[in-house]
Structure 1
């Protein structure tokens, strides 16, 4: 299992890599559902269960949202697009593997879609 989060709010990534629970100093990301800091219980789980965590740019998040809209005609919120953006940005890691990405959350203000 892998984790993913925006580069702009990468507390889980930094915590996972350092082995110490760290907080974000900013919350500037389009993925508003991921603006919170990682808690101790979740940190324990990711340390134990994840192989790695990837970070993605705001542009990659928007591109993933757009791809889902163009191919599936489904509007997903930015936080939901983060895992797909991570898979797309790290294709060599996932090549030849069965990959599942759960798409949830259509809580999007259509007037604020970034595309």
Structure 2
């Protein structure tokens, strides 16, 4: 929640999905560009959108990126867990960055979390 005294600033984030493939290894794909007020807003969006069961999630936030993945079960072989695992990386983008301008096409799914519902 924000009080009326807080100044909200909108940041732009890009979400990449990492999928492990038998033939190609790890494949990263840009799936969304998101406008949001906080990292927490974006992390909540990813958890709600892509993880039906939110148990055993590993979430790591750093200064310029965050990632979310399902914690691998210890009884599953490492090879199988890597092949079947998906993870999501979130990067904070500078709105003046030319790469950001290119990535905001409709195919990348621009989502605005700053709009009141």
TM-score by length of 1: 0.27
More strand by share: 2
Q: Which has the larger radius of gyration?
A: 2
Structure of greater relative contact order (alpha carbons < 8 Å, 6+ residues apart)? 2
Structure having the higher helix fraction is 1
